[in-house]
């Protein structure tokens, strides 16, 4: 036999019919057909005011009709998404009515507190002023809603004999939580004082929830707010808690959840869904005060939901997917992760089908230079004001690589010397630097204010002399970047800093993780940050003291693991990534 959740409703507030400047009323909006009935009923308290007279009957009808069409008749989205959208549409329609150009309209206000039930989960949504209270086990407390844009939301699992109060602003001012618990059953009949009181009762000992049975309090009798405990209520409560605890084992609210049973039915999935929403709400409350605990709870909650998803189907899967997505989004906030779908700027093989570019460098705000070391070619890609691609003249030497930008052009290393691509005339010339060692087996190279640096045989060489050989990292160097100091990323995933030929005590702070197959490090004297690119396309950003700033995760059709090279604009807002034969552009800031 199914367990049925009964809801008794008491409305507080007298309806108005004549035109007025202020209007508040409670609303109960029922589904109109069998398809919509599983979405429960919608309970709302609206509060409207304007400097121009308006028709309260019209406002009430518009609000009721709009909630009906936007919540019950809209098939797409989760309950929370649908109700937030419905409330937004209601708000806009009310403002439109209050701002009739034929009236002397002034400042108008619209506030709403509303609630819906989905399964055994109660959602409370608030826009503007109002209040909501939960009375449980003879104790009353405000329902703490968390801001999500223009709305504040809260959710939780309904228990037997719970009472929820939704009130207008005037109701909140007239009745504090203490006053509600001490008040008689009669509420004040006063302008603006309106509320809905909901009492929930479970009428069976079965383990499944069926369609909710919504009834108004019989004969209009008021609902008693305070209550005492009873053996029957305790028994029902213990049965519910035993079922939940039997499914989930956790050491504390912040410890990892452990799987104790397979989630084989929709009803078990619905219970976990409710717990997942509750955990998410708790984590959101923690995010400002204790990010570590919030992260731990969100991670455990994500694992719980992913496990629950394996054994359910239908609408519950959709709901779980939404919660998992919300968990990930909040974990991204805590971890300072920005997920970006980059734009494809250009595919070099459109013009050269055999091209295999290996590296890129940002020549200016308008141009990129790409090297094809296998075919001894350089390409120029104009990116502003329109895309234009061209092949630069012969490099005069084999294997152009280690591109580095100067004020006048691009330096690159070949097998015998550094070469220079003049950005003014597009010509390539050999530098007059003379190295007293062969330029083979070079791990990384760059130029800086007329000087040339190479990493070779465990040392950094500046022009023709030893600059430093301080540190074993130099034998595993992958890339170097110079801004006066030299930053080096290694195969082992370390990032080190050298200044004036000496290794600094440089460490990364606040970065919860390690580099995974790093490719390159990038910075310039103009940039305030350091950027490390990984083979996966992830870009991790630090300031120059080593403090973690954020990380960028690429999504979309980027070819991974074909990421090869990148460059960052002078203002640090944009990155250009070479992956395969394509050049991508992406934002580095939120």
pLDDT of 316 above 90: no
Q: Is 89 left (phi over 0), alpha (psi -120 to 50) or beta?
A: alpha
Q: Which residue has the tokens 């093989």?
A: 349
Please compute the mean of the pLDDT values over residues 277-305 and round it to a whole number.
87
- Residue at 240 is within a domain: no
pLDDT of 397 above 70: no
CATH of the domain at 153: 3.60.40.10
- Three-state DSSP at 37 gives helix
pTM given for the model = 0.56
Task: Return d(Cα 249, Cα 309) in angstroms, integer.
Answer: 17
Q: Which residue has the tokens 């002034």?
A: 106
Which of 56 and 434 is assigned the larger pLDDT?
56
300 with 406, same domain? no
- Three-state DSSP at 302 gives helix
Task: Return d(Cα 557, Cα 430) in angstroms, integer.
Answer: 39
Pairing of strands 548-554, 337-340: parallel
- Residue at 515 is within a domain: yes
pLDDT of 17 above 50: yes
190 with 315, same domain? no
171 with 46, same domain? yes
CATH of the domain at 439: 2.130.10.10
405 with 511, same domain? yes
Please compute the mean of the pLDDT values over residues 74-101 and round it to a whole number.
75
Pairing of strands 139-142, 502-503: unpaired
Per-residue pLDDT reduced to its tens digit, 519-575: 999 999 999 999 999 988 899 999 999 999 999 998 766 666 689 999 999 999 999
Predicted local confidence at residue 519, as pLDDT: 94
Share of the chain above pLDDT 90, in %: 29
Please compute the mean of the pLDDT values over residues 256-268 and round it to a whole number.
42
Predicted local confidence at residue 321, as pLDDT: 87
136 with 168, same domain? yes
- Residue at 441 is within a domain: yes
Count of domains forming the chain: 3
569 with 493, same domain? yes
Contact status, residue 497 vs residue 486, Cβ threshold 8 Å: yes
From 300, 335, 370, give the residue that closes a domain: 335
Per-residue pLDDT reduced to its tens digit, 277-286: 888 888 888 8
| Contact partners, residue 352, CB within 8 Å, separation at least 6 | 379, 391
Q: Give the number of other Cβ atoms within 10 Å of residue 127's Cβ.
A: 21
Which of 385 and 361 is assigned the larger pLDDT?
361
Please compute the mean of the pLDDT values over residues 356-375 and round it to a whole number.
90
| Contact partners, residue 67, CB within 8 Å, separation at least 6 | 27, 29, 42, 44, 86, 90
Predicted local confidence at residue 407, as pLDDT: 80
- Residue at 41 is within a domain: yes
- Residue at 439 is within a domain: yes
- Residue at 427 is within a domain: yes
What is 462-505 written as a DSSP string? ETTEEEE---GGGGGEEEEEESSSEEEEETTS-EEEEETTEE--
β-strand partners of 154: 124
Which secondary structure element, helix H or strand E, spans residue 43, and what is its range?
A: strand 42-54
From 303, 335, 367, give the residue that closes a domain: 335
Structural domain range at position 330: 250-335
Predicted local confidence at residue 34, as pLDDT: 60
pLDDT of 88 above 90: no
Which of these, 211, 329, 324, lies nearest to 272 by C-alpha position? 324
Predicted local confidence at residue 226, as pLDDT: 46
Selection from 175-184, 437-446, 488-497 with the highest mean pLDDT: 488-497
Per-residue pLDDT reduced to its tens digit, 402-421: 999 988 889 998 877 888 98
Which of these, 329, 318, 284, lies nearest to 79 by C-alpha position? 318
424 with 521, same domain? yes
| Residue 3: both structure tokens together | 């367990």
Task: Return d(Cα 212, Cα 34) in angstroms, integer.
Answer: 12
Average per-residue pLDDT in the chain?
80
pLDDT of 247 above 50: no
Least confident of 132-141, 224-233, 321-330: 224-233
Predicted local confidence at residue 395, as pLDDT: 58
From 228, 263, 287, give the residue that closes a domain: 228
Contact status, residue 215 vs residue 173, Cβ threshold 8 Å: no
433 with 582, same domain? yes
pLDDT of 1 above 70: no
pLDDT of 518 above 90: yes
- Residue at 91 is within a domain: yes
Which of 33 and 462 is assigned the larger pLDDT?
462
Per-residue pLDDT reduced to its tens digit, 96-147: 887 654 444 456 788 999 888 776 678 888 888 888 988 888 888 888 655 5
54 with 144, same domain? yes
Which of these, 511, 504, 516, 549, lies nearest to 531 by C-alpha position? 549
pLDDT of 445 above 70: yes
474 with 458, same domain? yes
37 with 155, same domain? yes
- 526-564 burial: b if 16+ Cβ within 10 Å, else e: ebebbbbbbebbbbbbbebebebbbbbebeeebeeeebb
Secondary-structure breakdown of the chain: helix, strand, coil percentages, each rounded to the nearest 5: 25, 35, 40
Please compute the mean of the pLDDT values over residues 88-102 and round it to a whole number.
76
Which secondary structure element, helix H or strand E, spans residue 146, and what is its range?
A: strand 146-148
Share of the chain above pLDDT 70, in %: 79
Degrees, nearest 5: CA angle 522-525-528:
75
Task: Return d(Cα 16, Cα 102) in angstroms, integer.
Answer: 23
- Residue at 455 is within a domain: yes
25 with 100, same domain? yes
Task: Return d(Cα 189, Cα 419) in angstroms, integer.
Answer: 88
Rg value, the chain, Cα: 32
Please compute the mean of the pLDDT values over residues 219-241 and round it to a whole number.
45
Predicted local confidence at residue 215, as pLDDT: 35
- In angstroms, how far is CA 199 from the centroid of its own chain? 35
Beta strands in 527-590 (DSSP E): 529-534, 539-543, 548-554, 563-568, 574-579, 582-587
Predicted local confidence at residue 239, as pLDDT: 42
Predicted local confidence at residue 188, as pLDDT: 66
Beta strands in 283-427 (DSSP E): 337-340, 343-347, 359-362, 367-372, 377-382, 388-391, 401-405, 409-413, 418-422
pLDDT of 248 above 50: no
CATH of the domain at 306: 1.20.58
In a 10 Å sphere around its CB, with 0-12 CB exposed, 13-18 middle and 19+ buried, how is residue 241 labelled?
Answer: exposed
Per-residue pLDDT reduced to its tens digit, 27-43: 998 877 665 666 678 89
Contact status, residue 189 vs residue 15, Cβ threshold 8 Å: no
Please compute the mean of the pLDDT values over residues 381-396 and round it to a whole number.
82
Task: Return d(Cα 135, Cα 98) in angstroms, integer.
Answer: 36
């Amino acid at each position: 036999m199914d367990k049925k959740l009964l809801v008794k409703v008491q409305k507080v507030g007298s309806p108005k019919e004549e035109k007025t400047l202020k209007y508040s009323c409670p609303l109960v909006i029922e589904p109109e057909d069998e398809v919509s009935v599983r979405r429960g009923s919608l309970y709302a308290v609206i509060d409207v005011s304007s400097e121009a007279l308006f028709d309260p009957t019209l406002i009430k009808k518009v609000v009721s009709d709009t909630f009906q069409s936007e919540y019950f008749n809209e098939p797409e989205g989760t309950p929370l998404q649908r109700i937030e959208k419905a409330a937004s549409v209601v708000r806009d329609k009310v403002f439109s009515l209050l701002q009739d150009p034929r009236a002397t309209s002034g400042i108008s206000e619209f506030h709403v507190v509303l609630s819906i039930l989905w399964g055994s989960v109660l959602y409370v949504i608030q826009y503007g002023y109002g209040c909501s209270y939960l009375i449980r086990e003879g104790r009353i407390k405000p329902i703490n809603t968390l801001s999500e844009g223009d709305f504040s939301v809260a959710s939780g699992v309904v228990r037997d004999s719970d009472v929820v109060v939704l009130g207008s602003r005037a109701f909140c001012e007239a009745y504090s939580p203490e006053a509600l618990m001490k008040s008689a059953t009669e509420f004040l009949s006063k302008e603006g004082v309106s509320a809905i009181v909901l009492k929930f009762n479970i009428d069976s000992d079965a383990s499944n929830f069926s369609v909710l049975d919504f009834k108004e309090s019989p004969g209009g009798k008021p609902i008693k707010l305070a209550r005492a405990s009873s053996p029957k209520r305790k028994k029902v409560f213990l049965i519910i808690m035993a079922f939940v605890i039997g499914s989930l084992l956790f050491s504390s609210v912040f410890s990892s959840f452990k799987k104790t049973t397979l989630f084989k039915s929709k009803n078990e999935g619905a219970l976990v869904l409710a717990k997942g929403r509750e955990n998410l709400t708790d984590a959101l409350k923690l995010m400002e005060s204790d990010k570590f605990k919030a992260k731990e709870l969100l991670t455990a909650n994500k694992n719980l939901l992913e496990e629950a998803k394996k054994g359910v189907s239908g609408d519950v899967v959709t709901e779980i997917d939404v919660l998992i997505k919300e968990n990930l989004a909040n974990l991204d906030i805590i971890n300072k992760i920005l997920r970006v779908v980059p734009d494809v700027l250009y595919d070099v093989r459109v013009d050269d089908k055999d091209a295999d570019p290996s590296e890129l460098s940002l020549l200016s705000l308008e141009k990129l230079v790409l090297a094809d070391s296998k075919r001894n070619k350089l390409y120029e890609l104009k990116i502003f004001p329109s895309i234009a691609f061209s092949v630069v003249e012969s490099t005069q030497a084999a294997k152009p690589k280690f591109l580095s930008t100067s004020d006048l052009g691009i330096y690159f290393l070949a097998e015998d010397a550094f070469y220079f691509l003049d950005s003014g005339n597009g010509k390539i010339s050999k530098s007059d630097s003379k190295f007293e060692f062969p330029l083979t087996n070079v791990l990384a190279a760059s130029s800086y204010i007329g000087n040339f640096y190479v990493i070779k045989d465990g040392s950094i060489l500046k022009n023709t002399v030893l600059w430093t050989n301080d540190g074993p990292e130099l034998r595993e160097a992958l890339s170097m970047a110079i801004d006066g100091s030299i930053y080096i990323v290694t195969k082992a995933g370390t990032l080190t800093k050298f200044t004036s030929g000496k290794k600094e005590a440089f460490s990364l702070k606040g970065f919860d993780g390690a580099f995974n197959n790093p490719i390159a490090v990038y910075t310039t004297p103009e940039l305030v940050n350091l950027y490390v690119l990984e083979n996966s396309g992830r870009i991790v950003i630090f300031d120059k003291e080593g403090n973690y700033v954020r990380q960028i995760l690429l999504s979309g059709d980027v070819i991974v693991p074909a990421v090869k090279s990148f460059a960052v604009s002078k203002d640090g807002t944009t990155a250009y990534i070479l992956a395969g034969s394509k050049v991508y552009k992406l934002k580095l800031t939120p």
